[in-house]
């Protein structure tokens, strides 16, 4: 018999590979109320653990296989990774259970001929499961290769970070990417904080205060989405750095606001609330199905004063009016979210950074043309790469008049009464006025933002 947790983990990992889906989305869909809490926990651990540590797992498996793991049939590779992850990382799982259920997984996948191979490889691997992986590395391996294997990241990515950040910061970043992220949530009505927290605690959750925002908190011990507080729109799940981005716009009542790349919609609600009943908020995206999903989310949150528009924001925008506030949360590589979305590290290729940059430049150019005099624009990404961040902003502002990047004291104006005590805004901005968060610091994802004004 195969446990429900391992069945779910196998199927999610298979779909991640075959459908190029995100594991977090698939897990959210699979782990409904009928799944026991302990099974949901183990399934999540297996999926995210295998994705984070895939390169190291394959390196260790290849010592037994004598050939690249990527040349295996996918069901066989997944069963081996799931088994080895349990042997290496989950001390409370008996080795016998890890091996036997992996064998059953390949049988269920109609790969019975590979059952003997899976059994033999994992039994040999269990004998050296406590041997540090570093013992198996070639002594002359280059630094980027060595760190890439031990911390399970692509070598090209490690090379970039070593060149820009140095070894100490790179190792810290790699470590942060391999830790489970904090389950951060947004509190939509700070005035009801105590009542909402009490309801969540009655539902069995443990609550911790935010590291950046007074309106943020972290939950553990269960799923917030199963609570009445979530169903009635009092809270949402959202990384704390992501929650901070729309606040940089400092939206005022009566403002006309454009959220140009709005899907999946997490940054739009604070814009709607700040603009008030007399303001106008337009949330745009190029994909109709994503706009439909946003509409359902806004229903849960009770947001009605928002206009959803389908458009290609990389082309000239079809608006006659100018906007007082514009958010360009641009599509990007996502290298600031590798803990939350570990599959990105295996999909992203270095040449794609140039493709993202071209799109980001087009988006920012279109947005700047619709910014009203005296208005404020925030350009943001969840990327750690300068090509997608500072260099995009510098290129957009080079050779044009009437626009300037706002200095950090003014850029932080919308945050000053919203930060938790002890979190000074200077920690969030560099000397050039760019907003930065780094994985591992403040327990948030890696985000970048620039605040631009029009004179």
Length of the chain: 455
- Give the model's pLDDT for residue 399: 81
d(CA 388, CA 406) in angstroms, rounded, equals 19
Say what the pLDDT of residue 416 is: 85
For the stretch 408-442, what's the b/e string if a residue is b when 16 or more beta carbons lie within 10 angstroms of its beta carbon? Answer: beebbebbeebbeeebebeebbeeebbbbbbbbbb
Three-state DSSP class for residue 350: coil
- The whole-number pLDDT of residue 251 equals 97
**Cα torsion angle, 453, 268, 181, 15, sign:** negative
Q: What pLDDT is recorded for position 33?
A: 79
Q: What is the pLDDT of residue 356?
A: 98
**Chain-centre distance for alpha carbon 9:** 19
Beta-carbon contacts of residue 279 (< 8 Å; ≥ 6 apart): 251, 253, 254, 255, 256, 257, 272, 305
Q: Is 423 a catalytic residue?
A: no
Chunk the chain into consecutive blocks of 10 residues (it has 455) and report each block's average pLDDT, rounded to whole numbers: 95 97 94 89 97 98 90 96 98 95 96 95 95 96 98 98 97 98 95 96 96 97 92 96 98 97 96 96 96 95 95 94 98 98 98 97 97 98 98 94 93 92 93 94 96 96
Whole-Å CA distances, 210 to 181, 189, 442: 14, 15, 9
Quote the CA–CA distance of 85 and 310 in Å, as a whole number: 43
Contacts of 173 (CB under 8 A, 6+ apart): 161, 165, 384, 438, 439, 440
Q: In a 3-state reduction of DSSP, which class is residue 217?
A: strand
Strand, helix or coil for residue 373: strand
Taking phi first (over 0 means left), then psi (-120 to 50 degrees means alpha), and beta for anything else, what does residue 206 get? beta
- CA 278/CA 169 separation, integer angstroms: 47
Question: CA-CA distance, 83 to 99, in Å (whole number)?
Answer: 6
Residue 256, SS3 per DSSP: strand
Q: % helix / strand / coil in the chain, to the nearest 5?
A: 50, 15, 35
Catalytic choice (185, 261, 332, 382): 382
Name, in order, each residue with C-beta under 8 angstroms of 198's C-beta and a sequence gap of 6 or more.
Answer: none
Sort residue 66 into left (φ over 0), alpha (ψ -120 to 50) or beta.
left
Q: How far apart are CA 86 and CA 93, in angstroms?
A: 7
What CA–CA distance (Å, rounded) separates 280 from 429?
Answer: 29
Residue 89 CA, chain-centre distance (Å), reads 23
* 23-38 core/surface letters (b: 16 or more CB in 10 A; e: else): bbebbeebbeeeeeee
CA distance 256 to 277: 11
**pLDDT of amino acid 42:** 96
Cβ-contact 111, 103 below 8 angstroms: no
Terminal C-alpha separation, the chain: 68
348 contact partners, CB below 8 Å, separation of at least 6:
154, 157, 333, 334, 335
Beta bridge partners of 403: 454
pTM of the model as a whole: 0.95
Q: Return the closest-CA partner of residue 24 out of 40, 38, 3, 2.
A: 40
């Amino acid at each position: 018999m195969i446990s429900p947790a391992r069945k779910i983990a196998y199927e999610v990992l298979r779909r991640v590979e075959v459908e190029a889906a995100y594991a977090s989305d698939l897990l959210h869909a699979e782990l409904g109320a009928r799944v026991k809490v302990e099974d949901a926990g183990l399934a999540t651990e297996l999926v995210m653990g295998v994705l984070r540590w895939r390169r190291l797992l394959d390196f260790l498996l290849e010592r037994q296989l004598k050939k690249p793991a990527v040349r295996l049939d996918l069901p066989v590779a997944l069963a081996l990774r799931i088994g080895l992850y349990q042997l290496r990382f989950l001390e409370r799982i008996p080795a016998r259970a890890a091996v036997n259920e992996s064998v059953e997984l390949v049988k269920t996948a109609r790969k019975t001929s590979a059952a003997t191979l899976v059994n033999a490889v994992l039994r040999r691997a269990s004998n050296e499961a406590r041997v540090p992986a570093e013992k198996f590395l070639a002594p002359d391996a280059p630094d980027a290769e060595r760190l890439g294997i031990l911390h399970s990241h692509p070598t090209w990515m490690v090379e970039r970070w070593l060149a820009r950040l140095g070894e100490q910061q790179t190792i810290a970043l790699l470590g942060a990417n391999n830790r489970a992220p904090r389950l951060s949530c947004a509190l939509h009505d700070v005035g009801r904080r105590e009542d909402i927290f009490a309801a969540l605690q009655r539902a069995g959750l443990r609550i911790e205060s935010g590291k950046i925002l007074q309106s943020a908190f972290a939950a553990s011990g269960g799923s917030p989405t199963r609570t009445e507080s979530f169903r009635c729109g009092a809270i949402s799940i959202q990384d704390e750095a992501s929650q901070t981005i729309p606040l940089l716009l400092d939206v005022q009542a009566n403002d006309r606001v454009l959220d140009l790349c709005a899907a999946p919609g997490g940054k739009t609600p604070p814009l709607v609330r700040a603009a008030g009943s007399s303001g106008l908020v337009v949330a745009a995206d190029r994909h109709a199905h994503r706009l439909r999903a946003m509409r359902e989310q806004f229903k849960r949150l009770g947001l009605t004063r928002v206009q959803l528009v389908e458009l290609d924001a990389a082309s000239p925008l079809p608006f006659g009016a100018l906007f007082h506030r514009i958010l360009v949360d641009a599509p990007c590589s996502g290298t600031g979210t590798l803990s939350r979305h570990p599959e990105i590290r295996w999909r992203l290729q270095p040449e794609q950074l140039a493709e993202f940059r071209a799109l980001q430049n087009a988006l920012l150019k279109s947005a700047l043309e619709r910014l009203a005099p005296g208005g404020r624009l925030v350009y943001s990404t969840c990327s750690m790469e300068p090509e997608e961040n500072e260099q995009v902003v510098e290129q957009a502002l080079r050779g044009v008049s009437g626009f300037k990047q706002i200095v950090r004291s003014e850029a932080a104006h919308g945050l000053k009464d919203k930060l938790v005590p002890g979190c000074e805004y200077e920690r969030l901005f560099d000397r050039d006025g760019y907003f930065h968060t780094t994985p591992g610091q403040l327990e948030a994802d890696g985000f970048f933002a620039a605040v631009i004004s029009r004179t």
